[in-house]
Structure 1
Amino acid sequence: MTNPVTPNIGLNKIDRTSPSTTYFDLEKYIDQNADAVDRFAGETSESINALEKRLDTEERREVVLQPGLQIVNAERSAPFKLSGIKGRTLVNLLGRVGNCEDVSPWSDSGSTHALDNVNKTTGNNGFKITITASSGNTGNIFRRINNIDKTKHYVLLADLKNGNATRIVLQKQNVGIGGSAPFMEVTDNTKFSTVAVKIQPAYFSSDDTIAVLVYGALGQYGYADAIRLYEISEAEYAALDDMTPEQVAAKYPYVDSVQPVRNPYAIRYGENLLPPFYEAFFAGSLAGSPYIVSPYEGIVNASGVNVGFQYWIPCVPNTEYTFAVENDGVIALQDMDKDKVLINNNGGFLNAQRASIITANNAAYLHILMSSGPKGAGTYTFKNPMLMIGTESKRFKPKEASMLALQTDLYADPVSGANADEVFEKDGQYFRLAKWGKATLTDKFNYVGIGGKGAGWKQTFFDLPSNTSGPYSETVIKYDGKKLQSNQITSSPDISAIDSGNAKRCYISIANTDSGWGDNYSPTADEIKAYFMGWMMYDGSGSNATPDNPVNNFYNGTGVKAWAYRADGVTRSWLGWTDKLPTTQAPNWTPYQLLYRLAKESIEPIVSEGMLTLNEGDNQIEVGTGIVVRERAVFAAETPTSGYSYNAAVPGAGQAKYKVKDFLGVYESGRPISGYTKVLRTTHNGAAINVPRDLFNTSAAYSVSYLMLDTSPNVPFTGSYAAYEKAMLQELTDSVRQNATAVSVLMNKKVDKDQPGWISPTIMNSWTKQDDFGYVRLSNGIILFRGSLKDGILSSTDSAPIMLLPDGYRPKEVLYFPIGGRNGYSVLTGYGTLRLLITPEGLVTLRGQNDMNMATIAWFNNVSFLAEQ
């Protein structure tokens, strides 16, 4: 018989029914039992110690979320705590000409280049370059680069695709090291490839030209888009050799002119990576249209083969995925590259409930299909679809993503990356440590006048909102996207400088061919302002109809002052001729952009949304930039029976602030809704959205979240998650406290007077806050001011504003208010009336009246107006 033992730790017991137990076995009943007790005590002690460590130690796991899509494995489900994001700035030295939306900035030789709206990677068009030379078997487009420092390092990139030629080549022309010019070529005619050409000082000569060349026979062609040139550090130059083409393309994406890290985000997709059927695309003929029963149940009434639902879901290369769905039709799970070209058919249509795939090393998307397939006509049901990482069978869950989105721009030194802006979190609120300032040169600046000048150019100067760190701390981008040279010595146009004795003052030299000012004419401050709003001056007298009639028709102080603007905002094609000084910004104009290092760092609160959480196990996470959260949206119906559209070419429909790549969500009175459809496109203002008429509430307020079409640099999210229970409990306690505080503040703001909270604005032009100065927007749209200002500048024009009101706090027309003022601090000094001016652009200015031409104090109490834009 088996010797009896105790049930928990297996101590030997005496079997008193057996004759063999009439003697006492010391080994069996003493030593073995002692060993068992000791072993149990050791195991128990280890377990208790481990539990004690988990409860007493606030241990966290550090994690860095890299740009792009990735798989992150977490030991347990926990919130992600952000410890930092650092800024980055890319400056495309080609400006905007590399977006291949205009053929005129590029010269050609032995070829023609035309816009192509099918073969492109950014914007609405790319270039199709066709060989026209009957000999030489080559044609090219080229552009001279002048705004470079030949002692620096650069990287030249482009997206190239061969057509029917032999090859297409990106090249820095002229002889380099070893007697050949640096170049990269593409022969693939199925997709665009990003190529990068390294340029070091030894490659420069007196003629520095970049070119795209097509090699082949007469009439053959290739395609180009997204051409960009970046100055980089010597360390980055050396690192290019160890990077794959995909890594280079990700690190140096195409940008127009200057771009910071704009609105970074991190999204953790759910255990189920599939969104509801509302976000699926129809496959096959719509003669048998699929329809949606519920978010995760769809029915296909197929009139033929291959009718159903399909998705393209971003995926990570070299990773196993499984798709499962209850169905009586067919399914398919395939991987595709970044251009959605099929890589692995994976068996094609499968008459199955699940399928798995290991993605290829160049996979970017999973193509998921639920349809009638080869079965043909019939009714097919698909229920509870689920896409998972790995092959483990899991109970169905809807897609439950979590997201952290930040609305901020983060800059750094464009070349070295030094002195980067940073994001940090404190008490549940996110802040930006700002080390850089940005200015857009519009009519809101006080253009003081003309400084130096020479043959063919003049130097303007103006004051920035805050002090810079001094000379050479600025980066100025011209209206055409060109970077100006920073130089204290001005001897030509397109040079910028910061005054060595006045850290606020900036100088910009302007060519007569840009401004229209002749060598013998000095423009007024308002005429300088008109230039920075996109208007060129010329002599409009006699037969002179445009600035180029005769060629380079400048105004030299005689004749008729006239102005015109560039039709496309860049090239010399003119519209809007007028002999009245323009006071509004010209159409299609992109103002000068100015980035500068701040003399003093500042801390600014930033708008954020969501909390990023990690699930135990594998998590698919996307880190990117260009997210816009809950932007106000005005929908409109094209016809009395159609649905309601936004960002579409529909009369009355609102347009997104930025061009839209894709919409992420629609919110009705703050609540997310489903059932809408999206149209993804690059024309007009990007993607559009439509809500069916029966789902639209005409009395509700709508907002949308979306991704911008324009790209910007991407950077990592650095943070951690709680590894032990004590850290999780502490984080939970902090979160409850922060949320309780936030709810308390919101409850206190229910009264209109305090809703949504008094704003304390940035004050300019020497004015400072007295009392509790600020303004608030009430629930009925009324803007109400309180408090007073002191010791500022009264202005006879708009040249010395006291503040700028943000979007949503501005009137539709110019408003004037009489307010009280005093020209001294003593009660015996004079009192009088000031005139407060508020413009539709949000500009707030104080002006003197006849009885009050100076003021040491100005009272704003009870100034109010209706915000209509």
Structure 2
Amino acid sequence: MSGQAYGPTVPYQTSTTTFVLSFSKFASGSSTSLQVDIGVSGSAGQYAYVDGIRLYEITQDEYNAIDSMTPEQIAAKWPYVDDMKNICSPYIIKYGENLLPPFTEWNVTAGSGGAPKMSVDDPYSVNLVADQSGQSVYVDVQAMPNMTYTLSLASLPVNGYIGFNSFDANMKFVNAYGGFTSDLIKTITTEGNVRYLKVIFGNNTFGAGIYKFSKPMLNLGTKAKSFKPLNEDYLFFPNVQLASNVDGTVYDTLFQRNGKYWKLARLKTMDLDGSLPWSTSDGYPGYKWIRLSNNHISSPIKDSGIVAKYDGKILTKIPQGTPPNSTDQQVLLDSADSNPNSVLITVSREDSGWGDSFNPSPEEIKAYFNGWRMCDTSDPTGKTPYNNLGTRGWYWVTDKDANPLFAATVPTSRAGNGWKPYKLQYQLATPTVEEIAVEGGITFHEGLNQVEVGNGMIVREKTSPNLYGPNNSYYFNDIAVGSQFKYRANVILNIFKNGLVDKSVLLMPGAHNANGYSKAQVSAANYDQRAAYSATYIALDQYALSCNVQSIQGEYADNLMNVVDSLVSSQTDVSTRVSILEGMHAQNMKGQWISPTLVNGWLEYADGYDTVRYIKDGFGVVHLKGLLKNGTLGAVIFTLPPGYRPKATKIFMTISDTNGSALIGRVDITANGDVRHTLGGAGYFSLEGITFLAEQ
């Protein structure tokens, strides 16, 4: 091709055991397009796996610096992200002056064989009961690249040894730093790709015996420090979302003022799912215009909005007043348009299953945005769109089976199998400031501090352990016993029992059968079947949840260093406990109102009256509100999801209308979640004041 410019190629990758990051940079210059090629070099029939392909537009400074960065630094700076992602649940962890956890979190290794045991006297005193040489106790701790660490003990047992191994982000071995030593102090400097240190205490080449290790200290710097127990500080922003536009010129900000934390929101992100009032606008061969009803969006839209499809594809933006010319296009209508604050989206026949001559109802459009595809059921594969002939059916958009399972009535629930709704993100005409709940507080000790800044912190996820009979213990996040968290866990920070940290739980990083990299264990004697358990952990698959924090700024007063260390630590601990209690109280008292999908002709009464919604408070009580009209008496109005349903059918009195006259009505709520208006009038009827305990 004449005039084609070729960018640099990357070295061939030959590893058969792990994915290896390859990167190339290219200055586009006068080019208007870019082609990325990925190939396999070898004989016919050979193949390669390729994962996490990403393409970033970067600044000139980043372009200049990228050659001096390690592959791990590049992967962290420009991570793989699937679809439109914001920063989710950012956090800051200040590791303790001593980076080593108590011995209750350590493991024992058999070396070349045998069956050593580990006996913990107290949190920082352990006995290695060895039956041969080459046995040890060890723990993995997070480490920073190109940093100096010092390991020390006040004394060593006879024939006791200490040592390090280091690993990269994929737990691939990097260095042993000269092996074991009988010295009381060992100082090392990590390589640029190091992310973990394995600290090892053992008997090296000496034989059976009891080896006692106590009060170990691992600190930053070249000098050993006196022993202190681990005392980490943390600052979590649970359920906080921070957004930016594509080029990063407009973004949300977190800041602190007067002892409280606030979010300055410049953008709004919302799910475009089946709870919204959709309608058709126009039909074209192969696709239809679908409209989100006027003024449903909470703020006037600036010309910055983008829509991401269920598969992550960003829809093509077209100007207002321009008719569409293909599928997967969008137009956002601002307050100057005749239909202000609306969204129009083109949906293809292949995605929706709506034939060209078929005009879907609002309920059928809602079903699509909940992840359901319509079809003509005479074709068992579901590939034939419904075109006003035959029998219509619905199946999950994500169902890839040759013969999917059809639903015979319009689905009102969200589809399964990993369905993700469309998303809309747009810039607010006027930024808003809102107070946010936080957990924890940060103080710094004198000298170097190891601080981790990240995202994807899952805070207080409800969880239950399952029993593993052979050792009479319950396990959290263990695949073998079926107790997985919602997301794979990289690091479990705490397991909570009835809202308080359960000190009897053993956290197990790097454990076998973990769902991700970490699991936890509690003995049957310490497990309370009546208690409510929850977990706070850092998700392993960040790309599925969040994009990366790109920068953070912080300040502290120099005179804080003059405060007595114990007083500062105690104050931080108190602040942490208070913030946790405040956060739990806020979580209990503040729920989220949910708008259900109305069926069988029932409509919002509108005209200034409250819309139909439901909520569950922190005590498990469901509340209903709203005014409806014009539906079929006795038919289902909407269905409450699991977790919002009574154990048995409940009957409530309400006010309704027939022919302009008010009369008593009856509302039935069944154990399967169906809400029905069974007696009274359909001119209107109210759900106001209906409450019940959610028991299933």
Please say whether Structure 1 and Structure 2 have the same fold, judged by a TM-score greater than 0.5: yes
Match of 2:487 in 1: 658
Q: Does 1:416 align with 2:244?
A: no
Match of 1:170 in 2: none
Per the alignment, do residues 196 and 694 of structure 1 end up closer, same or farther by CA in structure 2, a change over 3 Å counting? Answer: farther
Aligned to 1:316: 144
SS in 2 for 1:416: coil
CA distance in 2 between partners of 1:783 and 1:344 (Å): 57
Aligned residue among 292, 313, 318 for 1:462: 292
Deviates most, 496-505 or 510-519: 496-505
Contact 1:321/1:391 (8 A) holds in 2: yes
Checking the alignment, whether the CA contact within 8 Å between 1:756 and 1:776 is kept in structure 2 is no
- Report the equivalent of 1:603: 433
Task: Name the CA distance, whole Å, in 2 between partners of 1:363 and 1:479.
Answer: 37
Deviates more, 1:184-193 or 1:249-258: 184-193
Aligned to 1:195: 23
State the 1:619 CA deviation: 0.8
Distance in 2, Cα, partners of 1:492 & 1:201: 31
Instruction: Give the drift of 1:570.
Output: 6.9
**Deviation by residue 1:224-268 (Cα, 9 ceiling, x = unmatched):** 3211234x3666775665762554322211112121111111111
Give the equivalent residue in structure 2 for 1:513: 350
Q: 2:317 aligns with which of 486, 501, 505?
A: 486
C-alpha deviation, 1:664, in angstroms: 1.2
Alignment RMSD (CA, Å) = 4.5
Asked if residue 395 in structure 1 is aligned to residue 226 in structure 2, the reply is: yes
Aligned with 1:533 (options 370, 385, 397): 370
Paired residues for 1:43-82 under 5 Å: none
Q: 1:308 and 1:360, CA in 2 relative to 1: closer, same or farther beyond 3 A? A: same
Counterpart code for 1:270? G
Q: Which of 263, 283, 303 is residue 109 of structure 2 equivalent to?
A: 283
* Cα deviation, residue 614, structure 1: 0.7
Residues 186-220 of structure 1 show CA distances to partners (whole Å, capped at 9, x for unaligned) of 45748623414447485555xx6533223345566
The one-letter code sitting in structure 2 at the alignment partner of 1:511 is S
Matches within 5 A, 1:111-190: 179-187=5-13, 189=15
State the 1:457 CA deviation. 1.2
Pairing 1:627-638 to 2, within 5 Å after superposition:
627-638=457-468
Contact residue 440 and residue 579 of structure 2 kept, 8 A: no
Tell me how far 1:402 sits from its aligned partner. Answer: 0.4
Specify the code of the residue in structure 2 equivalent to 1:659. R
Do the aligned residues in 1 keep the contact of 2:592 with 2:616 (CA within 8 Å)?
no
Does the aligned pair in 2 maintain the 1:267–1:623 contact within 8 Å?
yes
Q: Do the aligned partners of 1:240 and 1:248 also contact (CA within 8 Å) in 2?
A: no
Counterpart for residue 169 of structure 2? 338
Distance 1:637 1:710 in 2: 26
How far is 1:706 from its partner?
0.3
Alpha-carbon spacing, 1:212–1:376, altered in 2? closer, same or farther (3 Å): farther
The alpha-carbon distance between structure 1 residues 522 and 638, as it changes in their structure 2 partners (threshold 3 A), is farther
- Quote the residue 2:217 is aligned against: 386
Distance 1:574 1:240, change over 3 A: farther
Which stretch shows the higher mean deviation, 814-823 or 301-310?
814-823
Instruction: In structure 2, give the amino acid aligned to 1:278.
Output: T
**2:94 counterpart residue number:** 268
Q: What residue is the counterpart of 2:54 in the other structure?
A: 228
Q: Which residue in the other structure is 2:408 paired with?
A: 579
What do residues 416-457 of structure 1 show as CA deviations (whole Å, max 9, x unaligned)?
A: 213311223344432322222222233312222x22222211
Q: Deviations over 1:147-188 (max 9, x none)?
A: xxxxxxxxxxxxxxxxxxxxxxxxxxx8876x3245433457
Which structure is higher in strand share?
1
1:334-373 → structure 2 map (5 Å cutoff)? 334-373=165-204
Matched, 1:295 2:123: yes
For residues 603 and 381 of structure 1, the distance between their equivalents in structure 2, rounded to whole angstroms, comes to: 56
Cα 1:684–1:581 shift into 2, 3 Å? farther
| One-letter amino acid of the structure 2 residue matched with residue 308 of structure 1 | S
> CA 1:629 to 1:262, structure 2 compared with 1: closer, same or farther past 3 Å?
same
> 1:342 Cα shift?
3.7
Residue aligned with 1:373, SS:
coil
- Describe the shift of the 1:838–1:252 C-alpha distance in structure 2 as closer, same or farther (beyond 3 A): farther
Cα distance per residue 1:378-399 (max 9 Å; x no partner):
3222211211112333221111
Tell me the CA shift for residue 509 of structure 1: 0.9
| C-alpha distance in 2 between matches for 1:684 and 1:510 | 41
State whether residues 299 and 381 of structure 1, in contact with CA within 8 Å, keep that contact through their aligned partners in structure 2. Answer: yes
1:832–1:852 Cα contact (<8 Å) kept: no
Report the equivalent of 1:866.
Answer: 693
Q: Distance in 1 between matches of 2:31 and 2:274?
A: 42
Change (3 A) 1:813 1:350: farther
1:485–1:323 CA distance, 2 compared to 1 (3 A): same
Match status 1:523 vs 2:357 = no
Q: Which residue of 1 aligns with 2:553?
A: 718
Contact 2:150 2:222 in 1 (8 A): yes
- Aligned-residue offset at 1:272: 0.4
- The match for 2:536 is 705
Q: Over residues 654-712 of structure 1, what are the superposed CA-to-partner deviations in whole Å (9 max), with x where a residue is unaligned?
A: 54343322211112231341442436489995344322223323333322110012213
Query: Per-residue deviation at 1:838?
Result: 8.1
Aligned to 2:444: 614
Kindly indicate whether structure 1 or structure 2 has the higher relative contact order, using CA contacts under 8 Å at least 6 residues apart.
Answer: 1
Q: Provide closer, same or farther for how the CA distance between residues 255 and 763 of structure 1 changes in structure 2, counting only shifts above 3 A.
A: closer
One-letter amino acid of the structure 2 residue matched with residue 479 of structure 1? Y
TM-score (norm 1): 0.65
CA contact (8 A) 2:244 2:252 kept: no
Contact 2:591-2:618 at 8 Å conserved across structures: no
Q: Which amino acid aligns with 1:345?
A: A
What is the CA distance between 1:407 and its match in structure 2? Answer: 1.3
2:28 and 2:551 map into 1 onto residues whose CA distance is 28
What corresponds to 2:333 in structure 1? 499
The alpha-carbon deviation at position 322 of structure 1 amounts to: 0.9
Deviation at 1:404, TM superposition (A): 0.4
**Equivalent pair of 1:183/1:197 in contact (CA under 8 Å):** no
Q: 1:841 to 1:481 in 2, by over 3 A?
A: farther
Q: Who is 1:593 aligned against?
A: 423
Distance change >3 Å, CA 868–CA 185, structure 1 → 2: farther
1:425 aligns with 2:256: yes
Query: In the alignment, does 2:132 pair up with 1:304?
Result: yes
Q: What's 1:84 paired with? A: none
Q: Deviations over 1:356-402 (max 9, x none)?
A: 11223333322211122221333222211211112333221111000
Gaps of 5+ in 2: 596-603
Q: Aligned to 1:506, what secondary structure does the other structure show?
A: strand
1:644 is aligned to 2:490 = no
Determine the C-alpha separation between the residues in 1 that align with 2:385 and 2:616: 48
The answer to which of 483-492 and 497-506 deviates more is 497-506
Match of 1:120 in 2: none
The whole-number CA distance in structure 1 between the counterparts of 2:282 and 2:248 is 33
Separation (CA, whole Å) in 2 of partners of 1:483 and 1:813: 45
Deviations for 1:120-158, whole angstroms, at most 9, x for unmatched residues?
A: xxxxxxxxxxxxxxxxxxxxxxxxxxxxxxxxxxxxxxx
Quick one: which amino acid aligns to residue 184 of structure 1?
V
The answer to whether the Cα contact below 8 Å between 1:470 and 1:498 also exists between their aligned partners in 2 is yes
* Structure 1 match to 2:79: 253
